[in-house]
A and B are shown apart, each in its own frame.
Chain A
Amino acid sequence: MAGMLRLAWRVALVLLLLTGGSAALAGTPANSIRLGMTAGFSGPTKALAIELYRGAMACFDQHNRQIGPDDRPVELLVANDDYEPGPAIENTVRFLTRDKVLALFSQLGTPTVSRVLPVLRAYADQGARLFFPVTGLEASRMPPYVRYTYNLRASYRQEIEALVDHFTSQGMTRIAICHQADAFGRSGWDGAHRALSRRGLSLCGEATFARTATVAGDMLPQAKVLAACNPQAILLVGAGPACTAIIRDLRRAGLTATVGVVSFAGGDILLRQLAAVDGSRDLGLERNLVLSQVTPDWRDDTLPAARDYRQALAAFGSRLPPPGGWDPEATREGSAVGFEGYLNARLLLAVLAAMPDPGDRTGLDQAAAAIGQIDIGIGRPVSLTGLTHQALDVVYLSTAAESRLLPLRITMATVED
């Protein structure tokens, strides 16, 4: 059944590439700068992928409309990979060989990206580069793969470090973790392990859940495992739907420990899902939540990028739907993930602007280095020249109220092992 669904999605994708893709091509000159984006537009990362796409597309759309007639427009090719490594690799190879994209852009998810990294290495002679994968994966910030990737966001380790630092600063010592049973979850586990070790602590308990878990999934076994060590705080490393289910079942099981959630859970999206599963708010799922974000608050009017994002989003509207279409129930408001997509696109455009020949991949590294310290409107300059090819080392912690993120604290994550 799952296979059938997957097949159906692939057929739909091909149709999109032939129709929607051609429509995009029709609206843009033949000399457009092509970018390839593969993400899980279905499955647990569906909401995340759509928001990411929307934010990025809003930026590119704005850019394409602002450029002059001689400038090459930016064309974003999108493919669905179901948050599975296999399709992600296939999509990547296709982007690189058949579609001849300039660069790969904003691939979503740790398990997918971690498997795409070797592909980049394989296509290194063709100058394959991945810009700003939406993952806190360590491998993309470390040799040997750091050469082929550029990151905007902080790593999971940094997020976890920030959360652990916050918890320990509150006097908590018994900290457990519940993570997705894959490389993403493992990187979070690894980060927690390291963060606690530095403070002379260790995880008091750990549990895993399936990558494909949905909101409807039963997480009581995990709650039971975690409850065994009576934790003061629980770190959650997973996609939005699974985190929603876990928070719900933890509270149902009577665990009142503070729950720390990494950015991949979606921030605003997570809060909306929590509100959806707890319509009457009896469970008080928003209480004792600490959400880690890698972008500043998109509602902050003091930030130009935040203003531009909301403006671009409004201008973009519902055009150019992603594979599988827009989620009719999702709000058209912005989100932390959407803002990340917008920022990714804005930084890439800056890199592209620094390239002498936007059609040649070999110029990407030079351009990335050439931009130096650049202001993308988030209150601090960013740079891609670091060893980790990471533009931002800031983790933004928030609490929740009324389905909105309330900024709690901003941590400069300078993780050094």
Chain B
Amino acid sequence: MSRIFRKTLLAIVLVFGVSANATALLSAWLLHRHLTDEYVTKGRAIAMAIAAASPDALVGGDAASVQAMIDEFLHIDGVGYVFVVDRLGRVAAHTFMPAMPQSVPVVTVGHEQGLSVDDAVIPDRGDYIQVTAPILAGEVGQVSVGMDKAGIWRVMREAVIRQEALMLAMFAVAVVIFYALIRGIARPLAALAEYAVKIRDHDFTATAPPTGDDEVGVLARAMTSMAGQLSVLVSNLKQSVADTTSELKDSLAHIQAIIDNLADGLLVVDETGRITLHNPALLAMFGIEGTDPAGRAVGDVFPETMAALAKASRSGAGMADDEVRLTDGGTGKAVATSFTLPGEDRAAVIILVRDITVEKEVDRMKTEFISTVSHELRTPLTSVLGFAKIIRRKFVELVAPALPPENARLVRGVGQIRENLDIIVAEGERLTELVDDVLDIAKMESGRCEWDMETVSLAAVADHVLRAAAPLAERKGLALTADIPAGLPAVLGDRDRLVQVLLNLIGNAVKFTEHGSVRLSAERRGEDILVTVRDTGPGIAAADLERIFEKFKQAGDTLTEKPKGTGLGLPICRQIVERHGGHIWAESVPGQGSTFLFTLPALAMVGTGCSCPLTLPTPDGAAGEGRRILVVDDDDAVRRYLETVLAEAGYAVATARNGLEALRIAAAWQPGCITMDLHMPGMDGREAIARLRTDPATCDIPVMVVTVASGRERQASGADAAMVKPVDHEALLAAVKNLLEGPGEDDVRPCLVYAADGGRRMARRFLMCPGEVTSVAREAQLWQAVEQGFTGTVFMPASLAHDLDLGRLSALPGLCIVIIPD
């Protein structure tokens, strides 16, 4: 049976059911009303008939006749009972068996009422309509007729049953007719539906069912036509899809071949950290065989570095790189790039891994070579130079005076020996310098140089440089001036390297200028700071302006003229400046002088000036900025002693009892040097030094630790120089003098630097030793030098001093020992 028929049948059943029952109910109700009326009428007629016929018998007391009469009426359909009451209210006759029930209502009706119709409910018998009529206007009595309602119900029930039966028959006929009709419609429809399902399943070979010219037929023809069009469309579509698929396959195969043949390892990670793409080179690098890592988390398959890299790239700026260890023990360089697929929100990360094991090895070999050269060249050179200097001094002090001056040839010989010794020392020094410069530039170019980037005040740098270069300029009678404006922004840079650049430029200017001046200036220009070193020398030819920044090139003809340097100074300067993000160049008008300029990116932070006035000890007028000393110690006696010693030496001295006070005074007073005790109540020396270093206003002030603290404490304090209490006041004064003023012309105390790298960093920083500087790298050499009669200042880093017998060293005469931080 079709679904349409089922639905229609259901509808018919519902409609028929509702209408049949509604009709039956209505009929029943109408019938009930009608029958009730009829029963009342019938009861009334009977009651009135009895009332009309019975007066004689009642009056005559003939109850039997009355009984006979009412018995007659009892046979009438619907009559349940009859009873007659006489005028005294006694029941004269009734039809009840076995007795007249108590519940039968005995109604008294007056002649004016005519009739009374009541409902009587008699237990065990049923419901009745009781019609009571008066006999002889109620004077003789009254008759009551009970019409049985069961009769009404019985008739009603029969009527309803007949009606329902009729409805049922009509329903059956209707179902048969509907079934026939719907089958006529449903069969072609079902066939059509089957056809439609076939078309839906892309079976275009199906044929439409044969139909007539009715609506179903029109539908079938329309569907056949649509199916034909669909078939053509689908076949075209399939062809296009096949073509496109083939092209896509070719293209994909091409890309896949590229990916598979990449020498670098390729890895694509989706935003959840799961692998989506990789190539064979990558698997080979990490030694992954057999399993396909696609879909797994990066960290599960590859080293954690890779996962971290992908995460960093996803969350960070987009690019990240790191080195990873490969399975064969080699090193790979992994570069991660994050990207977002066009049209999609999903971000992914591409990681390319390149095997740089060979490059690393080459790099390592180069570093080793440089290190070897450094040691193998400089160690003998140091000895040669050191002994040459000793020989020259002994010769000048001992041999030359002892020779008779009258022997002109001897005098000339002595003069030649003296000159030759000078040349040996000069050439030795130049050779040492050259080796240092070569190593320097080699380090820089190989990227092996360590840069100690920090916030640097150019004013402080210039101050150091000028102080160092001033003796040289004075010697040549040149005016060395500086113009550094206050409030110049700081730069981010390696302080020592910047000092090296400026010193080189000023040194060159002094070197090539015979008379006139050398001027250093700095100014803000846009985002940069422009530093200029101008001289009044011979100038440089325009053709040489660029060449001079190349290695081993100097202006002029190096073959005919004696070289005045290594030829590596300016290339090193260019390396340093460019490493700081600036550039360097030269300008010159030949005959009028040269100008060397370089720029450095300025930091946004502006150097702070003094803003809080403090009551300071009034320094005497002669005491300039360079002669102020702040003494920090909690011990009153020590403080007073140091103050006395330094004041007698002509320095302006301020004192502070603890770190906090020291910070305040240092920031306001800008001393040239600070002596710092480590053990103090409140803020101790170590923290005070750290705070001084972080404040741009005080970070360049040299700090000398004067303490009784252990070597380890000195080491950790970060101070520039440390001395052990009790203080040798001569050594103290010499150290302070060197720190503040640089070595004086008269101070020719030689320096001995005990450091693993030959003390280049320390020498450059303190510039204490304008004269002879001897470097020793090993402890044995140190002892050898001092026991051979060396007097002067011994510099050593705290790390070496820690293992040295300082007591024995300080016991030797003529030695000032300065322990400096590493």
Contact = CB atoms under 8 A, between A and B. Distances in A.
A190 B92 CA distance: 9
A194 B64 CA distance: 13
A186 B66 contact: yes
B633 to A, nearest CB: 139
Contacts of B65: 114, 139, 183
B65 to A, nearest CB: 6
Given A137-B64, A139-B65, A182 B71 contact: yes
B64 A183 contact: yes
Interface string B93-105: 1111111000000
Contacts of A124: none
A189 interface: yes
B97 A138 contact: no
A190 B97 contact: no
A318 B60 CA distance: 45
A204 to B, nearest CB: 13
Nearest to A115: B68
A184 B64 contact: yes
Nearest to B68: A183
Nearest to B56: A144
Interface stretch (A205-213, A301-309, A367-375, A377-385): A205-213
A99 to B, nearest CB: 26
B62 A185 contact: no
A186 B63 contact: yes
A295 interface: no
A207 B71 contact: no
B609 interface: no
Nearest to B66: A186
A320 interface: no
B229 to A, nearest CB: 84
A190 B68 contact: no
Contacts of A142: 60, 62
B61 A221 contact: no
Contacts of A110: 64
Contacts of A207: 97-99
A102 to B, nearest CB: 27
Nearest to B60: A142
Interface of A, secondary structure class, is: helix
Contact of A111 (B63, B68, B96, B97): B68
A139 B99 contact: no
A225 B72 CA distance: 26
A85 B70 CA distance: 13
Contacts of B68: 85, 111, 114-115, 182-183, 186
Interface string B114-150: 0000000000000000000000000000000000000
A181 interface: yes
Given A115-B68, A182-B68, A183-B68, A206 B63 contact: no
Contacts of B67: 182-183, 185-187
A64 interface: no
B64 A181 contact: no
Interface string B72-102: 1000000000000000000001111111000
A149 B208 CA distance: 103
Contacts of B96: 181, 208
A292 B64 CA distance: 20
Interface of B, secondary structure class, is: mixed
Contact of B63 (A190, A221, A222): A190
A143 B93 CA distance: 21
B140 to A, nearest CB: 16
A85 B62 CA distance: 18
Contacts of B97: 181, 207-210
B59 to A, nearest CB: 13
Nearest to B96: A208
B98 A225 contact: yes
Interface string B243-259: 00000000000000000
A137 B65 CA distance: 9
Interface in B27-79: 60-68, 71-72
Interface size class of B (residues with CB under 8 A): 10 to 19
B722 to A, nearest CB: 140
B98 A138 contact: no
B755 to A, nearest CB: 144
B64 A187 contact: yes
A209 B96 CA distance: 9
Contacts of A85: 68, 72
Contacts of A137: 64
A201 to B, nearest CB: 15
Nearest to B91: A206
A221 B98 contact: yes
Nearest to B65: A139
Contacts of A222: 98-99
Contacts of B72: 85
Given A182-B71, A183-B71, A190 B98 contact: no
A221 to B, nearest CB: 5
A142 B62 CA distance: 10
Nearest to B93: A186
A189 B63 contact: yes
Contacts of B94: 208
Query: Which has the most chain B C-beta neighbours within 10 Å: A85, A110, A139?
Result: A139
A111 B71 contact: yes
Contacts of A221: 98
A417 B66 CA distance: 19
Contacts of A189: 63
Contacts of B98: 207-209, 221-222, 224-225
Nearest to A187: B64
Interface in A209-238: 209-210, 221-222, 224-225
B217 to A, nearest CB: 68
A248 to B, nearest CB: 15
A44 B96 CA distance: 20
A190 B96 CA distance: 16
A260 to B, nearest CB: 18
A182 B94 CA distance: 9
B422 to A, nearest CB: 169
Interface in A135-191: 137-139, 142, 181-187, 189-190
A137 B93 CA distance: 16
A189 to B, nearest CB: 7
A136 B354 CA distance: 146
Given A111-B71, A182-B71, A183-B71, A206 B99 contact: yes
B99 A138 contact: no
Interface string A97-139: 0000000000000110011000000000000000000000111
A224 B72 CA distance: 28
Interface string A242-255: 00000000000000
Contacts of B71: 111, 181-183
Contacts of A114: 64-65, 68
A137 B96 CA distance: 21
A181 B95 contact: yes
13 contacts: A138-B62, A139-B64, A183-B65, A183-B67, A183-B68, A183-B71, A187-B63, A190-B63, A193-B63, A207-B98, A208-B99, A210-B97, A222-B98
Interface of A: 85, 110-111, 114-115, 137-139, 142, 181-187, 189-190, 193-194, 206-210, 221-222, 224-225, 417
Give 8 closest A-B pairs by Cβ, nearest first: A186-B67, A187-B64, A183-B68, A190-B63, A222-B98, A183-B64, A207-B98, A186-B64
Given A111-B71, A208-B99, 11 more contacts: A85-B72, A114-B64, A138-B62, A138-B64, A184-B64, A189-B63, A190-B64, A207-B98, A208-B96, A208-B98, A224-B98
